[in-house]
Structure 1
Amino acid sequence: MDQPQAPQVPAHVPLMTLERFAELSGLTVDTVYGHIRRGYLPAVKVGRYRLVNIALLQTQCLQAEDWS
C-alpha cells in the first residue's frame, strides 16, 4: 500500500502553521518559533494558534531583493 502524503500547499495560501512551515523549510519547529519570537519571520495569532504569514514574508523578500 502507498504511504499517504501530506497535501501540497498552494502558493496562494497566506498563512501556514509553524509545523508545516518547518517541514517545508527544513527547519525544526523550535527554530521557526525562535525566528518568530525574534521577529525574523512574520506571524499572526489566530485564536490560540500562531501562524506564519507567508504573504507578508513573500512581500518582504521581494522588497529586499535588489532587482536592478
Structure 2
Amino acid sequence: METSTAPQVPAPTVPVMTIERFAELSGLTPDTVRGQLHQGNLPLIKIGRRRLVNVALLTAECINAEDWS
C-alpha cells in the first residue's frame, strides 16, 4: 500500500478570515497580505465594509493546482 506524499494540513473551519488573522496564521505581515490581495495573488471577498481573505477559494485553488496522485 502506497503512502500519500501530500502534505497533511488541517483545513480551516471558516471559509473567510480577516487580514490580520490570516497574516498571523501564515507568518506574513498584515501589509504583505494586503499587498498580495491588492495584486490579486490571494482571493478577496468583501462583506459589508470588511475585506476578508477567501480561505475556502484559496484552499480549492491550491488543491486543484497540484497533482496529488
Q: Shared fold (TM-score greater than 0.5)? A: yes
- What SS class does the counterpart of residue 30 from structure 1 fall into? helix
Please name the residue that 2:66 is paired with.
Answer: 65
Letter aligned with residue 48 of structure 2: G
Shift of 1:35: 0.3
CA drift of 1:12 comes to 2.4
Aligned match of 2:48:
47
Within 5 Å, which residues of 2 pair with 1:1-68? 11-68=12-69
Gaps of at least 5 residues in structure 1 are: 1-9
Q: Please provide the CA RMSD for this pair.
A: 1.3
- For normalisation by structure 1, the TM-score amounts to 0.81
Structure 2: tracts of 5 or more residues without a match: 1-10
Equivalent-residue separation in structure 1 for 2:18 and 2:68 (angstroms) = 30
Aligned length: 59
State the percentage of identical aligned residues: 63
